[in-house]
Every structure is written in structure tokens, then in C-alpha cells.
Amino acid sequence: MVEAGILLTFALVLLAGIVLGAPLLPLLVFGMLLFASYGLWRGFSVRDVARMAAGGLRSVGSVLTLFVLIGALTASWRAAGTIPAITCWSATLVSPRNLVLLSFLLTSGMSMLVGSSYAAAATVGVICMTIATAMKADVALVGGAILAGAFVGDRCSPMSSSAALVASITKTQVFDNVRRMVRTGAVPFALCCVVYGIAGMTSSGTAMRPSFAGSFASSFDLGWVVIVPTALILVLSLLKVSVKRTMVASLVAALLVCVFVQHISVAELPAILVFGYRCKNMAIARMVNGGGVVSMLDIALIVGVASTYSGIFRETGLLLGLRDYVDKVARHSTPFASVLLTSIATCVIACDQVVALMLTCQLCEGTERDGSALALDLENSAAIIPSVIPWSTSCVGIVAFVGMPMTSILWNCLSILIPLWTLAISMYQHSHAGFSDTHTARLLGLDRRDDARRLATAA
């Protein structure tokens, strides 16, 4: 009873804070103090509770390092002209009839390269919305395509901080998870292309597209060499080089481009890497500014504070009652069904992708018998559901700086189709023993690790 009261108090305070516009970090600090107080009430000493919290923090140490690299890398790509070159090239492909579909595909491509829904939306997304406005197209529809595309890479790019976080908390490998996610998401992605293609052809605008080439060319050298940093990401990822080494290689290449191609002085580079790139051309500043280690500070603090929960939950047994309920749902349906329901609840309450991922993992770690299976479940639920929650930080931020209406959420097909598709697969697998051994299952990204019943029997 006390445990339920503690969790309900946390949920109400978190929800009230979000509604009132309070910053998320202080609300999470309140949660940490609340859960620590529960540990003290259970008879643990202050030292014991501090040790629990520190244990949870250590579990995400590697992902915090990745946040630093991601912040520096996105800033260097902007300064090197890599992102401007890609967005400039992307704009030349758009026409009134294919605007919606290409908005989805281009934002998807950018999000796969940078691994961030925010970065993809802030670059290609902003350009596509600018083009949509100039063409008098349906901005709600285009906005939905941008929102969906932004979460393609946020979910399954090797550069994604959320993918790194999921790998860390499930003790799995990022590249293995990414390969499986690409396969499980292939059918929903194709369906999105069909939906956006048809919708775009039936509701396209009539005006001609604007040109960005002159604006970008006045501030950057847009020669082929500026694409090298992103090419390294693609090549090294295919060669299965570790994420950190891949990112460092791309960072070094981008810095060389900054100095020798864009003629940025070496003395300016530290400030760019730490505080982000700031373009002097105000006409394109909104599209290219950003990045930097400081830009990742907020999410790093959120992850750091939220990670302390896991250590406290694990040793005090605070979540045992809820875990029993989650396990019961898994036994009577499928493991993914319980993860999906838990994800919806945590996304609605927590209002943040990172917190939802960590809470869902802590509640559902017993539903699957393998960390890789749980990682796949999390990426197909808690990682993308926040993008269709109007008050979540993952949604409201993108909606605001892209300038799309809130009704665009209704056209975010990918974040709706992936959970439904995964649920359908899990239900089919549940009723067809041995499905995970078939060639079809392999094509869908599944293997023996995803059959919880078999693993339970083996155990």
C-alpha cells in the first residue's frame, strides 16, 4: 500500500509539474528524494541508499560519455558544412506532388545520420516546412511526415542517444540492436511511404519551391569533401566498428574540414564543440545553429538523475508489486503486450522519452528472458510512443521549433504503426511455436532470443 502511494505521489507531482510548465529535472530530483526516503523508511541507512543511487548512475556511465561525443559531433557537422550541404541537396529534390513523401524520407535520412530527432527536425524538417508553407501545402500533413521521419533515426541509428541508452540499460550491443530494429521496422516504414505518397498526391500545393542554394553557399563551401564525416559514419557502421570509435573518426574528419575547407581557426573549435555552432548569416541561422556538449547537458542530467531510481528500486523492492502485475499480463498475453502497456503508462506519466525508457525497463526486465529481446521491445514502444504524446518533451519541442500545428501528431504514422506491427508479430509468435526459427522470422529481425517461453524452459 505504501509503495502504491509513493508511486502515485511521484506520478501526480510529475504530471502536475509538466502541466504547469515546470522544468523536468527538478521534478526528477524530487522523485529521487522521494524514493530515497522510502529506502530510509524501509530501514536502510543513508549510506546504503547513496550506494544504491550510485550503482544506478554507474550503469549509464558509458551512455553519458556518448552524449558528450554526440554533442561535439553534431556541432562539428554544422560548422563543417556537412548538414547545410545535405539539406541544400535535399531541397532540390522536392516538388509539390512528392513533398509529403520526401519530407518523410529526407527527415528519415537525416535522423539516421545524426541519430537525433531534434537535429533532423531542426535541419531538414525546418526546410521541408518552409517549402510546404511556400507551396501552400497541408502543413499538418507535412508536419506529421517530418515528426515520423525524425524518429526513424532516433529509434535505430547507431548515432542515437536513445539507442545507446537502451543498449546500456539492457546490457546489449548497439549495432546488434540496430540491425534487428531496421528489420522489424521495415514493414511499418514501407506502409508510411505508401500513406504519405498517396496523401501527398491528393493534397499537394501549387506554388513552386524556394531555393536555398544561394543562402547556404554564401556561408559554406559545399563541395563533396564536406560529406566525408557522414560517409565515415556509414562505412564504419557497416564494418561494425564500435560506436565511440566511429564517432571519434567522424569528429576528427569534421574538424579537419572545418579548418582546411571552411577556414575556421583552430582557436574557435573548442568553443564550437562545447557551446555549439553559431552561424553569422542570420538568414540561415535557425537551420544550422546548434549542437555542442552543452546542448546535451540537460539530457545527461535527466539520465543521470533517473538512473539513480533503478538502484533504489532494485534493492528496496519498491516496484515488486507492479512487476508482478506486468509479469501477469505477459503470461496471459505476450511479453511485448505487457511492455507496450507499461510504455504507454510511463510515457503519459513521465512526459519524457528517457525517463519512460528507464522506468519501462525497470518494470519489464522480467517479462523477456533475454536482454536483446527486451531492447527490441523498448525500441518498438517506449522509444517512439513519446512522439505521439502532445505534452511529452520529445513531441512538444519538435512541434514548436519546426512550426507545425499540434494536429500533425495525427499524421505521425510510424510511431503508431511500429507498436501495432510488433504487437501483431508477437501475438502470431505466441500462437505459433517455433516461429522464431523460421526464415520469415529472421527477415523480420527475430530469432531464438525472442521466444521467452523457450528460454524459460531452458532455464
Is pLDDT at 215 greater than 70 in this prediction? yes
pLDDT of residue 455: 44
Task: Say yes or no to pLDDT of 402 above 70.
Answer: yes
Quick one: which of 148, 45, 159 has its CA closest to 104?
148
pLDDT tens for 92-128 read 777 778 889 999 998 998 888 878 787 778 667 877 8
- Mean pLDDT highest for which of 8-17, 89-98, 246-255? 246-255
- Predicted confidence at residue 459, as pLDDT, reads 44
C-alpha span between 299 and 354 (Å, rounded): 8
- Identify whether the C-beta of residue 252 lies closer than 8 Å to the C-beta of residue 73: no
- pLDDT for the residue numbered 13: 87
Between CA 24 and CA 33, with CA 30 as vertex, the angle to 5 degrees is 145
Please state, in angstroms and rounded to a whole number, the distance separating the CA atoms of residues 55 and 312: 9
In this prediction the pTM is: 0.71
Residue 132 vs residue 263, higher pLDDT: 263
d(CA 376, CA 166): 9
C-alpha to C-alpha distance for 323 and 391, rounded to whole angstroms: 26
The Cα–Cα gap between 450 and 448 comes to 5
Can you tell me whether residue 253 is helix, strand or coil? helix
Q: Is the dihedral of CA 280, 282, 283, 286 positive or negative?
A: positive
pLDDT given at position 351: 65
**Per-residue model confidence (pLDDT) at position 456:** 45
- Identify the pLDDT of residue 385: 93
| Alpha carbon 113 to chain centroid, angstroms | 13
Identify which of 93, 86, 142 has the alpha carbon closest to the alpha carbon of residue 114: 86
Which is nearest to 200 in space by CA: 93, 98, 92?
Answer: 98
Number of other residues whose CB lies within 10 A of the CB of residue 192: 28
Most trustworthy range by pLDDT among 51-60, 72-81, 109-118? 72-81
152 contacts 378 by C-beta, under 8 angstroms: no
The closest alpha carbon to 99, from 165, 37, 51, 144, belongs to: 144
Question: pLDDT tens digit string along 424-454?
Answer: 988 888 777 777 777 787 877 777 666 654 4
Burial 345-360 (b: 16+ CB within 10 A, else e): bbbbbbbbbbbbbbbb
* pLDDT tens digit sequence for 307-363: 788 788 778 877 777 777 777 776 777 888 889 988 888 887 666 788 788 888 888
- Three cell numbers written together for 309: 531510481
**For residue 458, is pLDDT > 50?**
no
- pLDDT, tens digit, for every residue of 270-291? 999 999 899 888 877 877 888 8
Closest CA to 74 of 130, 118, 104, 109: 118
